[in-house]
């Protein structure tokens, strides 16, 4: 049936409005500078594809870093990252959240530790809560993270913090405040990333030094996504049970996620502070409270 011109115009307008709403609600962010700013060595961060991707550069002059323009209290943040290929020993590419509150800081870290060619890339995770850290765990990645982009995600809600690699959970830190374990829940955190030299500890405990003849070193980022309660913002946002990341489906791992989590822990974990008797003759309380 033929549509009258006025009806066709109305349908076209409604479709356009729906598309515009969809893009504003779900297509975030469009470019790096929408949510982030360079915090360290502007000359070593290069925007690509109109700012939809960036390149971080490390050379003998400097590393570099960037941070979100705002802080957030609970939510989910993810980025697609392609790490340094080849001989990257002594380098660290970090993606983390930090409250920037000195001695009482809260922090949630992904740290990708460079390697010698042919060795697996190690990702170290760490959590600071109320100023206390030293909760390192290390996992060897089961793929080459320098060959292509992979998605790294931090989910943070009132129930737990989960680190994901391509939707595979590699670490869970539960809210066990009821057992006296500190949990980050009061301080908003910004989103940060850095590329820097750390050959005093990064690769085999500092035994493998950075090879500057391979410099400059490059890592790449795209698909920046932050969904959370921005601060300053509505006062009731962080406590709202209607936020999707607080929903029942995100309060614990589902059956598939738990199987994947166990697979990573059994096959790819190479260090866990919970089992390091030289550092902790008595396991910290969070280690005894279940994963």
- Position 24 confidence tier, pLDDT thresholds 50, 70, 90: very low
**Which tops the pLDDT comparison, 11 or 230?**
230
Mean of pLDDT values over 119-147 = 96
Mean of pLDDT values over 111-134 = 94
pTM of the entire predicted model: 0.89
10 Å CB burial of residue 278 (0-12, 13-18, 19+) is exposed
Instruction: Tell how strand 217-231 and strand 71-82 pair up.
Output: antiparallel
Domains of the chain: 30-286 (2.60.120.200)
Diameter over CA atoms, the chain: 80
pLDDT at 1: 43
- The residues that are catalytic are 107, 111
Mean of pLDDT values over 220-238 = 95
Asked if the model's pLDDT at residue 218 lies above 60, the reply is yes
């Amino acid at each position: 049936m033929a549509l009258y011109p006025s009806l066709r115009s109305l349908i076209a307008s409604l479709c356009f409005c729906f598309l515009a709403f969809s893009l504003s609600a779900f297509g975030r962010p469009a470019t790096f500078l929408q949510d982030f700013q360079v915090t360290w060595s502007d000359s070593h961060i290069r925007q690509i594809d109109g700012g939809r991707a960036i390149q971080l550069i490390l050379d003998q002059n400097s590393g570099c870093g960037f941070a979100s323009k705002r802080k957030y209290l609970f939510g989910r943040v993810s980025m697609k990252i392609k790490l340094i290929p080849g001989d990257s020993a002594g380098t660290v590419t970090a993606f983390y959240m930090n409250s920037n509150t000195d001695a009482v800081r809260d922090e949630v870290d992904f740290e990708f530790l460079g390697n010698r060619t042919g060795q697996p890339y190690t990702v170290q995770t760490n959590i600071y809560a109320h100023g206390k850290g030293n909760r390192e765990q290390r996992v060897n990645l089961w793929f080459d993270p320098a060959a292509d982009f992979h998605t790294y995600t931090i989910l943070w809600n009132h129930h737990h913090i989960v680190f994901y690699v391509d939707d595979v959970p590699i670490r869970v830190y539960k809210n066990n405040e009821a057992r006296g374990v500190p949990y980050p829940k009061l301080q908003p955190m910004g989103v940060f990333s850095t590329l820097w030299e750390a050959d005093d500890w990064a690769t085999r405990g500092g035994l493998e030094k950075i090879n500057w003849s391979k410099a400059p070193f490059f890592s790449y980022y795209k698909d920046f996504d932050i969904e959370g309660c921005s601060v300053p913002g509505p006062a009731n946002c962080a406590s709202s049970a209607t936020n999707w990341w607080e929903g029942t489906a995100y309060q614990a791992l589902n059956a598939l996620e738990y199987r994947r989590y166990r697979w990573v822990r059994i096959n790819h974990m190479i260090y866990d502070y919970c089992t390091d008797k030289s550092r902790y003759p008595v396991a910290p309380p969070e280690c005894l409270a279940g994963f």
